[in-house]
Amino acid sequence: MSIDSINAYASKMTILGWFAGLAYYNWFASHTLHVPIWGHAVLIVVGMFAASIIIGAGIALIAGALTKVITGKLEGSPHAYSWAAFISPVLAFAAAGYAVRLFS
């Protein structure tokens, strides 16, 4: 698997983690918070792009820097990028909780 395809997969999974976090913290948590309808629209549209860009790209940059330090090249090994594809959705899920609290 190439690094580009791993990063594309990581971006899709980050967005999925964001939506799963929104669903959990809005509907399935033990103490749900009331968010106005305009807040849902902002969380869905703006949050999706922000989570993908800030969390996904940030973790990919960290993975690239770590790979460069270890192997000497950005494309030296796909392992750090694969771990980033696992970590990004988890961080997006947690960030969704903070975003819902911000808009409630």
Q: How many domains does the chain have?
A: 1
Closest CA to 53 of 10, 5, 102, 104: 10
Residue range of the domain that includes 34: 3-103
Going by pLDDT thresholds of 50, 70 and 90, the confidence category of residue 31 is confident
CB 34 within 8 A of CB 94: no
Residue-level pLDDT at 77: 86
pLDDT for position 2: 86
Measured CA to CA, the distance from residue 104 to residue 1 in angstroms comes to 41
In tens, the pLDDT along 64-95 reads: 999 999 999 888 888 999 999 999 999 999 99
- 25-31 average pLDDT score: 82
The angle formed by the CA atoms of residues 91, 96 and 97, to the nearest 5 degrees, is 105
The pLDDT value given to residue 88: 95
